[in-house]
Every structure is written in C-alpha cells, then in structure tokens.
A and B are shown apart, each in its own frame.
Chain A
Amino acid sequence: EAQVTQNPRYLITVTGKKLTVTCSQNMNHEYMSWYRQDPGLGLRQIYYSMNVEVTDKGDVPEGYKVSRKEKRNFPLILESPSPNQTSLYFCASSLNRGNTEAFFGQGTRLTVV
C-alpha cells in the first residue's frame, strides 16, 4: 500500500529538548515536504526536498532542520523546541515537479510546554 508514515503521532515535550519527527514514504517519490497546520492559518510549508541531499526552506523554516540522506526518509528536527512550535505537522511526498498530487502522512501533533 502506497503511504507516507510519520512517527510519532503524538508528542508532548519540554522547551529546549531536541526532538526528531520521522517521515518515510514507499512510493519512490523525489519530492518531500513538511507542513505545519495551525488554527486560522491553514497549511504552511516548513521545508522541502527535491531529491537526496537537496533541501530548501519553505515559508516558515525558523527553528527547524531537515535532512534527506535517503530518498524514502525526510526527518524533521527541532533542535531546541519552543512553545510556539506547538502545532500539527504533516509530511508529504509527490512523484516529481509538475502537476502531481502530494500524498500526506497522518500527522504529528506536537505540544511543547
């Protein structure tokens, strides 16, 4: 089954404690992205990757890091989480550039206290 898998689904952490949210896709997609969803703000792109070792900032990259060492994995790293990073996070992948749909993971609800 084609899917994008994120872990964990839910996470509560404390300010400043480094964390990683993993994302894996089994569709051999080139493009992967991270989004955050906040009330009244919709989905905003954090980072994206066009292929292995190629990443770039989206609209709201501050406080986040990513890496793309393998095609299937695109982890999101919060080196020093802060309460304003409390949000619902989605990873997405798509086949290639162009008129193609993005497939989304189930989401990770992160709370930073």
Chain B
Amino acid sequence: DQQVKQNSPSLSVQEGRISILNCDYTNSMFDYFLWYKKYPAEGPTFLISISSIKDKNEDGRFTVFLNKSAKHLSLHIVPSQPGDSAVYFCAAGGGGSNYKLTFGKGTLLTVNP
C-alpha cells in the first residue's frame, strides 16, 4: 500500500514559468511533510518542509501548500530555472512512536531554457 503518491513521473516547464509538483497521501496520522531534490549521482537534499498545523510554507522561490482535508500537498517553484531540473521526492512522517519518513516515487522536473 503506497502511502505517499506522486502520480506524475515527469514534468516539463519553460524557464521563468511556474512548476507545480503534486503529492497525495493516505495516512491521516502523518504530521509533517518534506520535499527533497535529487540530482543524478548525488544523495537527496532537503528542500522545504511543512508541519500539519500550517497550510503554507515559503522559502525563496519555493512554496509548499498543504491541504489536510484533501490529503494533498504541492510544491510551487517560481520562477523555474534550468538548475531546478532534478527528481523531486515528497516525504511524510510522524504520527507514530518511531522516526520514519515515507517517500513517494519521485517526479522528474525538466526546466527548459
């Protein structure tokens, strides 16, 4: 049972436009959510997170929105840059006695110059 779903394996956008990456989850016990970015031949790097008590968190060009009732979160990148081209993983955690992050399968973002 996949608890964190990223239904779009890939996304292509033009430089300067907005990129929107989506993530759905099924476990209502999750209480924090993170986005990671991964370049080829490197480990994932933390991008931005949000707690379940918030509905928005912003960091520069990156904004994460959380809709708890829909069990949906999204990452907005504005404006998109070619250097943003990478695989983006959504992750969720909390809600239990153990530390654990559950990851989605990832979305490959390509930003075209």
Contact = CB atoms under 8 A, between A and B. Distances in A.
A90 B84 CA distance: 22
Contacts, number: 61
A4 interface: yes
B105 A40 contact: yes
A102 interface: yes
Contacts of B12: none
A97 B99 contact: yes
A44 B43 contact: no
A56 B98 contact: yes
Interface residues of A, number: 28
Contact of A50 (B44, B98, B104): B98
Contact of A99 (B41, B44, B51): B51
Given A94-B99, A101-B49, A102-B101, A43 B43 contact: no
Contacts of B103: 35, 42-44
Given A43-B103, A43-B106, A99-B49, 6 more contacts: A33-B100, A40-B105, A50-B99, A90-B43, A99-B32, A99-B51
Interface of B: 6, 31-32, 34, 36, 41-46, 49, 51, 89, 91, 94, 98-106
